[in-house]
Structure formats: C-alpha cells, structure tokens
C-alpha cells in the first residue's frame, strides 16, 4: 500500500518530529499568504479522528476519504490521523509520516477553522508501536473517533483493540469490505456505527414523519407483510432500512418477521420501494429513486387515500460522518 501514502497530500517529515513539522508547515503557509492559524482559538481542535485505510483501499478511494475528512473538518476542526498499513513487508521500512493542514472561514470572517492531518505509513512488523505513535499525534483530552475503511477481513481488526476500546465511536461502512464486519465481535458493540445507516437519515425521517400521522392502533393491527425492494447500487442501504423497519414495526406491536426483502429492478440501481399489505383494504407504499431525487408516498390506512411527493437523497459523505459520530 505505499501508493496510498504517496497519493495523499502533505509534507513528509521524520516520525519523531511530527509536532515541529506541523509548526513549520503552518509557518510556511502563513509566509505564502495563505490562511493559517492566527491565535489559539483559530486552531481550537474539537475532535480526534483516526482514519484507518485497510488493504482494500485504492489510492483513488484513499484520496476520496481524505477529502471527506477535510470537508468534515471545516465544520468540526479536527486532528486527523490517517493510518496506511504496508502489505509487502519485503519493501517496507520504518514508519513514515506526512503532515497536512488547512484553514477555512466559518460563518463569519472572524470564524477561522483549521484542521491538521498526520499520515502514518507503517509495515505490519511495526504494528506493536502504532498505538503509542497514534497517541502522540492526537490532541489530548479530546474524544477519539475511529473510522475503519475497507479492511479486506474483519478478523484483522483484532490487532487494533486499543482503538476499538478507547474510541467514543467506531465507524464502519457496510457498503464496503469487510463484508463480515457485521458478525465481528467488537469489544464494545454499542459504540459501533454504520455509515450506510447514517446516509439514510433523510429517508428514515421522511418515512417516520409520514407514518407518524397515524396512530399505532391503525398501523399495527392486521399488518400481513412488509415488502422492501431495492436497486443493485443500494443493497447495503436496503439491508439497513430493513433492520430499521423491523425495529419500528416491533415497536408498534406488529410481528417484525412479516418484513421481507427482495432484489430490485436492475434498471433503477438507486431505487427503493416499501409496501405494507393488510388483511383488509388498507395499504402503504413508498417509492424512491435517488437518481431522480424524489420519493412518492401513497397510502390508505382507513381514513381515505393520501398521496405525497417529497425530495429524497442520501446524506453527503461528510454529513453522514458527523451523523454517525455524534448522533
């Protein structure tokens, strides 16, 4: 994975001089007339984020996730440590480090927000020293969030128990490897968050608000089945939506086993459909297409037919990241 470390921006510095490297970087930025921290408050870091790029990460994907972290940091000033393991031990040497930083203007001209990145490339033979190096790079007295990206096998996570147990949140994405992460016995499962679930916030909110108009006594009795179909591109989101529907149905007193999921229409890769079938004339239907950007509700739950069209989208990657981290 050396190509990933090389693909990321930043200035290479000695691993033992990361702090001074960051200071020199900001001095150089200021001398070139670019935005740089001008005081303690401009540089006030709010969050520690560790982005761990697994062996399934391509250089292009690494840059994409890096850019997501940068956009996130413009809202929540962050110290981000990006871990880049090296798979080929025959070509690996000692740890290498890069530093990167940028400042942006917030809601007012006086609101300057800065982020700092430390990229660490390490051979697996140096893994035993990784925790101590990461702890040195992070800002003290701030929560740690651990984002796992495209591990080829969830069993490799066992080597990073320190991060799995000290983090306030562990972030995974069920749309990408490790595909077996859902069955991995995380040491603190209650802190694990799925980015696919976070991306669906607007869809979950929209369905919840529409059905929330009706009393539970109307929604649950006589519910025979719930059918959820999905397009090929949103399989992970469909699995998450299915789980959420089961929880909501059970909370209303209906049988959550009535929910089923089926393959979607390949002609609509970004589409969902949810339908409720009852043992009488009642029905509920929700059809959404992320590519078209709209969803259609149709229902008759005993008080007459009701139709509604609403916009639909997934959260942006940086907003999904903040949703998974803080909510």
Mean pLDDT of 51-73: 96
- pLDDT given for residue 155 in this prediction: 84
Closest among 313, 262, 277 to 292, alpha carbons compared: 313
Mean pLDDT of 281-301: 96
131, HSE (Cβ side, Cα atoms, 13 Å): 10
Whether 183 has a pLDDT exceeding 80, the answer reads no
296, with CB counted inside 10 A (0-12, 13-18, 19+), is middle
> Which pLDDT band, with edges at 50, 70 and 90, does 124 fall under?
confident
Place of tokens 């790079």: 137
Q: Could you report the per-residue pLDDT of 221-270, keeping only the tens digit for each?
A: 999 989 999 998 999 999 999 899 989 988 888 888 887 777 666 568 99
The DSSP-derived string for 233-264 is GGHHHHHHHHHHHHHHHHHTTS-GGGEEEEE-
Question: How far is Cα 229 from Cα 265, in angstroms, rounded to an integer?
Answer: 8
Place of tokens 């798979």: 87
* Residue 172 near residue 166 (C-beta atoms within 8 A): no
- pLDDT given for residue 43 in this prediction: 56
What percentage of the chain exceeds 70 in pLDDT?
92
Phi, psi torsion values for 228, nearest 5 degrees: -120, 120
28-32, 179-183, 318-322 — which is least confidently predicted? 179-183
Mean pLDDT score across all residues of the chain: 90
pTM of the predicted structure, to 2 decimals: 0.91
Q: Could you report the per-residue pLDDT of 67-118, keeping only the tens digit for each?
A: 999 999 989 999 999 999 997 665 556 899 999 999 887 777 677 788 999 9
């Amino acid at each position: 994975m050396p190509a990933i470390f090389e693909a990321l921006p930043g200035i290479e510095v000695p691993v033992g001089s990361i702090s001074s490297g960051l200071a020199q970087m900001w001095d150089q930025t200021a001398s070139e007339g670019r935005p740089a921290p001008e005081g303690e408050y401009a540089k006030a870091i709010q969050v520690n984020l560790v982005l761990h790029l697994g062996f399934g990460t391509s250089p292009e994907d690494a840059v994409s996730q890096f850019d997501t972290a940068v956009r996130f940091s413009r809202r929540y000033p962050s110290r981000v440590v990006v871990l880049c393991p090296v798979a080929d031990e025959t070509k690996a040497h000692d740890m290498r480090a890069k530093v990167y930083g940028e400042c942006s203007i917030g809601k007012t001209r006086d609101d300057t927000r800065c982020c700092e990145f430390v990229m660490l490339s390490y051979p697996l033979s140096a893994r035993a020293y990784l925790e101590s190096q990461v702890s040195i790079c992070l800002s003290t007295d701030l929560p740690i969030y651990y984002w796992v990206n495209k591990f080829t096998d969830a069993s490799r996570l066992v080597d990073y128990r320190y991060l799995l147990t000290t983090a306030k949140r562990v972030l995974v994405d069920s749309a990408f490897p490790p595909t077996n992460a859902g069955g991995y016995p995380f040491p603190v499962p209650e802190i694990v968050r799925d980015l696919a679930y976070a991306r669906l916030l607007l869809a979950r909110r929209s369905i919840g608000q529409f059905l929330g108009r009706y009393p539970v006594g109307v929604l649950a009795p006589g519910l025979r089945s719930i059918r959820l179909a999905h397009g090929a591109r949103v399989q992970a989101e469909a699995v998450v939506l299915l789980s959420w529907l089961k929880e909501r149905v059970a909370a209303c007193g209906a049988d959550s086993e009535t929910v089923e999921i089926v393959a979607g229409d390949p002609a609509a890769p970004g589409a969902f459909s949810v339908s409720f079938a009852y043992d009488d004339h009642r029905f509920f239907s929700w059809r959404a297409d992320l590519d078209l950007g709209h969803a259609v509700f149709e229902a008759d739950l005993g008080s007459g037919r009701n139709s509604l069209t609403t916009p639909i989208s997934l959260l942006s990657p940086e907003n999904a990241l903040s949703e998974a981290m803080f909510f």
